[in-house]
Amino acid sequence: MHLRVAVVGDTRAATAVINAAFRRAESFLVDRNRIDLDSVKNLFEKGSFLVADECGVIAGCVYVELRGERAYLGLLSVDPERQRGGLGAKLMNAAEDFSAKSGCRFVDLQIVNVRKELPAFYHRMGYAETGTAPFPSDIETKIPCHFVRMSKQLI
């Protein structure tokens, strides 16, 4: 497994792995894909995706957007067939290292409050809650939810 910065040619594969991972994790919450190809292309213009490449197959990815001394991480996704093997943590470590080497001192992310497995994962990674934010009103959910914001100091 090779972790690397994605290239534009990885857009379709990254979109597929994001949607597969979120479909498995959030089907109880929403009845739609997490992201479309055009949105991933737009994110390539604002930030970078780090991908886990296994012999040319994208097994996972994470989005990193550098914002001065802060980085925003999102869309952490691992192919459902490869989950529970530590790849998510490896991608997070790579994203944090990428952010630190780019001059960031903090990393921010947000999780959906109804994903009960996520707080423990991010706490183990050193993140702490910093607040909440509303879930986008244009996305219909099966149950009420909101975002929990989390941050970690890198340096």
- Interior angle at CA 63, CA 120 and CA 139, nearest 5: 75
User: How many percent of the chain have pLDDT more than 70?
Assistant: 100
Q: For 97-114, write each residue's pLDDT tens digit.
A: 999 999 999 999 999 999
CATH, residue 98: 3.40.630.30
| pLDDT at res. 84 | 87
The whole domain housing 12 covers: 2-153
| pLDDT at res. 28 | 92
Instruction: Report how far residue 17's alpha carbon sits from residue 110's, in angstroms, rounded to the nearest whole number.
Output: 19
User: Which portions of the chain are predicted below pLDDT 70?
Assistant: none
Element (H, E) at 1: none
Q: Domain count for the chain, please give it.
A: 1
| pLDDT at res. 121 | 95
Can you give the pTM of this predicted structure?
Answer: 0.94
Q: How far is CA 80 from CA 5, 22, 77, 83, in A?
A: 21, 9, 9, 5
| pLDDT at res. 13 | 97
